[in-house]
Amino acid sequence: VLGENAIAVRTKAMKCLSEVVAVDPSILARLDMQRGVHGRLMDNSTSVREAAVELLGRFVLCRPQLAEEEYYDMLIERIL
């Protein structure tokens, strides 16, 4: 679904993933989830990028090791 052409679908997919991660934050450690989130951080759509940043911002606070181990480079790339 994250590769869908419709912007609204990709945005909703990120928001749904955010709800799943609320229940099980460890899912963000999976390689396929990392690739999906990274792809959405670089999405052409602002709303999709915002949903991805919101997802990471929300859960990096409760699992700081995710920021250091898996998502640090992605966040720095997005900032630059």
Contact partners, residue 57, CB within 8 Å, separation at least 6: none
Give dist(CA 57, CA 23) in Å, integer.
Answer: 16
Give the pLDDT mean for 19-29.
Answer: 87
**DSSP category for residue 80:** -
Residue 66 pLDDT exceeds 70: no
């997005």: which residue's tokens?
A: 78
- Domain extents in the chain: 7-77
| Average pLDDT in the chain | 86
Model confidence at 14: pLDDT above 90 = yes
| pLDDT score recorded for residue 40 | 92
Tell me if residue 44 falls in helix, strand or coil: coil
Tell whether pTM > 0.85: no
User: Does the pLDDT of residue 2 top 70, yes or no?
Assistant: no
Is the pLDDT assigned to residue 65 strictly greater than 80? no
